Amino acid sequence: MIPPLDHLPRRGRPDAPALAGKFGVIDYAGLDAMTGRLAHWLAAQGFPGGSRIAAWLPKGVATVVLPLAVARAGLVYVPVNPLLRRAQVAHILADSEAAMLVSAPARLATLEAGDTPPGLVIAEESAVEAVMDRDGAPALPPGDAPPERLVEILYTSGSTGRPKGVMLSHANLMIGARAVATYLGLAAEDRTLAVLPLSFDYGQNQLLSTWWAGGCVVPLDYLLPREVVKAIGTHRITTLAGVPPLWTQLVETAWPAEAERSLRRITNSGGALTRPLIARLRETFPGVDIVAMYGLTEAFRSTFLPPAMLADHPDSIGRAIPDAEVLVVRPDGTLAADEEPGELVHCGPLVAQGYWRDAARTAERFRPAPATSRYGGMAVWSGDTVVRDRDGLLRFVGRGDAMIKSAGNRISPSEIEDAALAVSGVAEACALGRPDARLGQAIVLFLRGEASLCADDQAALVDRVRGALRQLLPTFMQPADILRLEAMPRNPNGKIDRVALAALAQGGEGA
């Protein structure tokens, strides 16, 4: 049977490092003790079982111990991305009906009257840290929660509407940790640099999969990519997880030999790796495994592509990870044939329990699995279009809500973006549709040029891209406007913010 989340601090050797950073090194015995003390303190607050405990914090010891302690106390953890603003935080607190909010005074001061639910208990980060560090304080031992018990609610970023709270059980998180540790080959000697937001499922798994393997996590909040490079060298990092915008920044950064020496693997999700970016990654990280992955919060992780297959299948998102079943389904619910586009449907024990107190949206996404599923039960119908090749590998075509419908054609933004990224000097590209009375949607392409380009080359970049696209793409895929930006807007998870770009496209003029 899969153990509960709060058993993770006992996965590693007691004297082996579990956490490291500016705060020093904490071994597994210390992590377990901190978890027990904080869990006892939370239980003593008198909250009913299953009450929600929210945390709005930067990365630190309290942030990584809280999910374990909340689980051990029989409560439900609600991490809030530290980059969110007060209106978004207020929505999450109200929607989750949080019983406690753990944060720092500076953040708490930004909340206004009416932003917090009645009766919300406020706990400052320093008070929580004091509880964890109090030697000899009472501690709760690991619990025996059933695998299906709700333990976390992860809120989506809200880039496509009101944030939804995805309900995750102990089994969802622990099976996901085991699966990722298995296919990445993580071991006790591995050290993971946790740069992604811990409120993000991919970000949180940096912790859980590393601890499943008995390794060490180094949490890092950074402002500049060179801080990531420095931390990799300082802490002898072996594993780095990221999203495409981070890789784009890192390949434009100088890498000293000591930073490259320890790195064994990098993993990507949250967006596809393009052929030009793969080439730059191989050049920057020679000999390092590059693991491409695909997933969604509602089912955590769907697929991965083994590093040895990346060269021959650069456009593939791979095949199902351990414990997951991934099907390609036609609109009528039958399985699509090889090379036939279909909706990706995720089945099995990684499927979440639905959206918190939102039956309508749960019914839209969580529906009975196709009859051919070996798991059955509820499945996540992703809305994403994929194609399975004759080798059983999947290729991502586009998200249902991102497809461009122009002049009767359904166009995948990634096709246009990939063509633009093949042009020398293009660092990032994002295509989307803008309402158009004649076409339905007109295509708008946003570009960011590489930092190394001189001013003249930057100015000429749009013309070069437009000329290349005329050669590479059919007429119906040609952008009506191509706009060059100094920087792409980001959502709180570090991805390109398509909603912000769509707003910009409404008033933009073609370059």
List of domains in the chain:
16-144 (3.40.50.980), 402-507 (3.30.300.30)
DSSP 157: -
Among residues 504, 449, 442, the alpha carbon closest in space to that of 478 is found at 442
Residue 308: CB atoms within 10 Å: 8
- DSSP per position, 22-52: TTEEEEHHHHHHHHHHHHHHHHTTTPPTT-E
Contact in structure between 29 and 14 (CB atoms under 8 Å): yes
SS3 label, residue 141: coil
Express each pLDDT in 317-331 by its tens digit.
999 999 999 999 999
Contact in structure between 417 and 402 (CB atoms under 8 Å): no
Express each pLDDT in 28-68 by its tens digit.
999 999 999 999 999 999 999 999 999 999 999 999 999 99
Taking 60 as the threshold, does the pLDDT of residue 161 lie above it? no
Mean pLDDT, range 359-371, rounded to an integer:
95
DSSP 486: S
pLDDT range class, residue 158, cuts 50, 70, 90:
very low
CA distance 34 to 130: 10
pLDDT range class, residue 309, cuts 50, 70, 90:
very high
Contact in structure between 398 and 414 (CB atoms under 8 Å): yes
CA distance 384 to 174: 25
Q: Amino acid identity, residue 91?
A: H
Token duo for residue 437: 């009375």
Residue 312: CB atoms within 10 Å: 9
234, 237, 242, 245 alpha-carbon torsion, rounded to 10°: 40
pLDDT range class, residue 474, cuts 50, 70, 90:
confident
SS3 label, residue 296: coil
pLDDT range class, residue 509, cuts 50, 70, 90:
very low
Region for 270 from its dihedrals, namely left if φ exceeds 0, alpha if ψ lies in -120 to 50, beta otherwise:
left
Among residues 120, 50, 69, 123, the alpha carbon closest in space to that of 92 is found at 120
Taking 80 as the threshold, does the pLDDT of residue 77 lie above it? yes
Taking 60 as the threshold, does the pLDDT of residue 488 lie above it? yes
Instruction: Please tell me the least confidently modeled range out of 136-145, 188-197, 401-410.
Output: 401-410
Residue 320: CB atoms within 10 Å: 20
184, 187, 190, 191 alpha-carbon torsion, rounded to 10°: 80
Beta strands in 341-425, from DSSP E residues, in sequence order? 342-347, 366-368, 378-388, 394-399, 404-406, 409-411
Among residues 26, 25, 53, 29, the alpha carbon closest in space to that of 39 is found at 53
Between 191 and 164, where is the model more confident?
A: 191
- DSSP per position, 91-122: HHHHHHT-SEEEE-HHHHTT--TTSS-TTPEE
pTM of the predicted model as reported, rounded to 2 decimal places: 0.82
Cα–Cα distances in Å, from 8 out to 13, 15, 109, 154? 11, 15, 34, 19
Look up tokens 């296919």; give the residue.
183
Taking 50 as the threshold, does the pLDDT of residue 294 lie above it? yes
Taking 80 as the threshold, does the pLDDT of residue 402 lie above it? no
Among residues 148, 143, 232, 250, the alpha carbon closest in space to that of 191 is found at 232
Contact in structure between 318 and 394 (CB atoms under 8 Å): yes
